[in-house]
């Protein structure tokens, strides 16, 4: 597990912009049972990558998915000042809803400290997924941060990709 977290951290750092202009806060990196680490910032992993494809389509209207181009699009994401972090760095996708909530609420205070080192209060922040919105919306706003939407964005899978892309584009236009 520690090796995996180091890999996740290293992959994320590789695509961190010098100045974060828009911050996405997602739930957690997915638990990876595959040989290839399933993670937004892994340029070699493209299978079942709904988050990557939907975020790129929301941010870049010209985006078209083609196998083998993930690294190029991640670099463009970085170059444009976009950055995604997770509410918790521990994979929680296989936990019950109640346990996910517990982990997310426990991560609010340390994650606010991390966010303070990444962005200015007026930097747009996009919260991805209902449980992340519920745990982080109020604490971020009370701390003076700019959450750019008033209701949750669905996780972009299970038929919610178009809803996510539309809602995300609306947030980014604001």
Q: Which residues of the chain have pLDDT under 50?
A: 1-6
CA distance 151 to 142: 16
At residue 1, the pLDDT reads 41
At residue 93, the pLDDT reads 87
At residue 51, the pLDDT reads 92
CB-neighbour burial class of residue 130 (10 A; exposed 0-12, middle 13-18, buried 19+): middle
At residue 173, the pLDDT reads 87
- Whether domain 2-173 has CATH 3.40.470: yes
User: Which has the closest alpha carbon to 114: 138, 136, 99?
Assistant: 136
Spatial CB neighbours of 119, under 8 Å, sequence gap ≥ 6:
20, 23, 125, 145
Tell me the per-residue pLDDT of 19-42, one tens digit each, with 9 for 90 and over: 999 999 999 988 776 666 778 999
Sheet holding 146-147, edge to edge: 82-86, 22-26, 124-127, 146-147
Backbone angles phi, psi at 150, to 5 degrees: -105, 0
CA distance 66 to 143: 40
At residue 4, the pLDDT reads 46
């Amino acid at each position: 597990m520690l090796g995996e977290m180091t890999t996740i951290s290293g992959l994320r750092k590789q695509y961190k912009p010098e100045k974060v202009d828009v911050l996405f806060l997602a739930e957690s990196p997915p638990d990876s049972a595959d040989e290839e680490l399933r993670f937004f910032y892994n340029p070699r992993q493209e299978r079942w990558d709904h988050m990557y494809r939907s975020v790129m389509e929301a941010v870049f209207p010209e985006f078209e998915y083609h196998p083998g181009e993930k690294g190029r699009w991640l670099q463009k994401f970085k170059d444009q000042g976009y950055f995604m972090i997770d509410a918790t760095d521990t994979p929680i996708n296989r936990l019950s809803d109640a346990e996910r909530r517990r982990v997310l609420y426990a991560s609010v205070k340390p994650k606010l400290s991390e966010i303070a080192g990444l962005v200015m209060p007026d930097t747009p922040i996009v919260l991805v997924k209902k449980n992340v919105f519920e745990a982080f919306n109020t604490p971020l706003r009370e701390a003076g941060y700019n959450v750019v939407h008033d209701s949750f964005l669905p996780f972009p899978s299970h038929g919610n990709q178009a809803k996510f892309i539309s809602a995300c584009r609306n947030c980014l236009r604001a």
